[in-house]
Structure 1
Amino acid sequence: MFRIFLTHTPDSLPLLFPPRARAELEKHCTLVINPTGKVLKGAALAQAAAGCDLVIADRQTAVDQSFFTTATDVLAVMRCAVDISTIDVDAATANGVLVTRSIPTFATSVSELALGFMIDGARGISRSVAAYRNGEVPDPGMGQQLSGKTLGICGFGVIGRQLAILGRALGMNVIVTDPAPHPMAENIKNVPFDTLVGSADFIVCLAPSTPQTFGMFGARAFSLMKPDAMFINLARGELVDEVALEQVLDAGQIACAAMDVGSAHDQRPATRLAGRSDVIATPHIGGQTPQASEGQAMHVVSQVLQILNREIPDEAVNRAAATRLQARFMTSDTPSDRSTT
Structure 2
Amino acid sequence: MDRLRVFLTYTDDEFDSYYSEAGLAALQACADVVRNRTGRVLAGRELAEASAGCQVIIAHRSVAGSRDTFEHAPSLMAFLRGAVDISTIDVPAASDHGILVTRASTGFGTAVAELALAMIFDLARGISRTRHAYAQGQTPVVAKSREIAGTRLGILGYGRIGRQLAAHAGALGMSVRIHDPYVSPEELGRNAASFEALLAGSDYVVCLAPSTPQTENLMNRAAFALMKPDACFLNLARGELVDEDALLDALDQGRLRGAGLDVGRAADQKPSARFENRPDVVLMPHVGGMTVQAREHQTMDTVRQVAALAAGRWPEGAVNPLHAFRAAKVLKTPYTPQCQEKPSP
Q: Deviations over 1:184-212 (max 9, x none)?
A: 77775232222211211111111111111
* Structure-1 residue corresponding to 2:235: 233
Give the drift of 1:337.
9.2
CA distance in 2, matches of 1:311, 1:182: 36
Give the counterpart of 1:93 among 89, 95, 100: 95
Gaps of 5+ in 2: 341-345
Match of 2:148 in 1: 146
Give 1:322's aligned residue: 324
What is the CA–CA distance in structure 1 between the aligned matches of 2:337 and 2:175, rounded to whole Å?
A: 48
The Cα of 1:95 is off from its aligned counterpart by 1.0
Residue in 2 aligned with 1:70?
72
What's 2:117 paired with? 115
In the comparison of the two structures, how many residue pairs are matched?
Answer: 338
* Counterparts of 1:120 and 1:184, CA distance in 2: 33
Per the alignment, in what secondary structure is the counterpart of residue 32 of structure 1?
strand
Alignment match, 2:255? 253
Code of the aligned partner of 1:339: C
| Inter-CA distance 184–131: structure 2 relative to 1 (3 Å threshold) | farther
Secondary structure at 1:181's aligned position in 2?
Answer: coil
Q: TM-score, normalised by structure 1?
A: 0.94
1:119 offset after TM fit, Å? 0.5
Aligned residue in 2 for 1:208 = 210
Letter of the 2:149 counterpart: S
> Deviation of residue 182 (structure 1)?
5.5
Is the 2:185–2:192 contact (alpha carbons within 8 Å) kept by the matching residues of 1? no
Runs of 4+ in 1 over 4 A off after TM superposition: 182-188
Give the 3-state SS of the residue equivalent to 1:160 in structure 2: helix
Q: Write the distance in 2 (CA, Å) between the matches of 1:265 and 1:177.
A: 29
Cα distance change of structure 1 residues 338 and 118 upon mapping to structure 2, 3 Å threshold: closer
Match status 1:11 vs 2:13: yes
1:230 and 1:173 map into 2 onto residues whose CA distance is 15
Q: Distance in 2 between matches of 1:88 and 1:8?
A: 19
Write the deviation string for residues 239-290 of structure 1: whole angstroms up to 9, x where unpaired. Answer: 1000011111111111111101111121111111232221111111101111
For the residue of structure 2 that corresponds to 1:152, the secondary structure is: strand
Which amino acid in 1 is paired with 2:205?
I
Q: Distance in 2 between matches of 1:182 and 1:307?
A: 38
CA shift for structure 1 position 183: 8.6
Q: Which amino acid aligns with 1:289?
A: T
CA contact 1:174–1:187 (8 Å) conserved in 2:
no
Change (3 A) 1:184 1:30: farther
Aligned-residue sequence identity (percent) comes to: 45
Q: Which stretch shows the higher mean deviation, 248-257 or 49-58?
A: 248-257
Match of residue 22, structure 2, among 3, 9, 20:
20
Give 1:9 shift.
Answer: 0.9
Deviation for aligned residue 1:329: 2.5
Asked if 2 retains the 8 angstrom alpha-carbon contact of 1:54 and 1:75, the reply is: yes
What is the rounded CA distance, in whole Å, between the counterparts of 2:297 and 2:54 in structure 1? 24
Query: How many angstroms does 1:54 deviate by?
Result: 0.6
2:311 aligned residue (309, 312, 332) = 309
Aligned residue for 1:157? 159
1:157-185 CA-to-partner distances (Å, cap 9, x unmatched) read 11111111110110111111112226977
The whole-number CA distance in structure 2 between the counterparts of 1:94 and 1:188 is 48
- Is residue 107–residue 294 contact of structure 2 (8 Å, CA) maintained in 1? yes
Find the partner of 2:270 among 268, 271, 280: 268
Match of 2:170 in 1: 168
Q: For residue 261 of structure 1, what is the amino acid of its counterpart? A: V
Is 1:61 the counterpart of 2:63? The answer is yes
CA contact (8 A) 1:311 1:338 kept: no
Residues 15/182 of structure 1: CA separation in 2 closer, same or farther (3 Å cut): farther
Structure 2 residue matching 1:266: 3-state secondary structure: helix
Secondary structure, in 3 states, of the residue corresponding to 1:11?
A: helix
In structure 2, relative to structure 1, the CA distance for the partners of 1:141 and 1:114 (3 Å cut) is same
Cα root mean square deviation, aligned: 1.9
Q: 1:35 aligns with which of 21, 34, 37?
A: 37
Decide whether the 8 Å contact of 1:310 with 1:337 is kept in 2: no
Q: Which residue of 2 aligns with 1:244?
A: 246
Matched, 1:134 2:169: no
- The 1-side partners of 2:159 and 2:64 are apart by 25
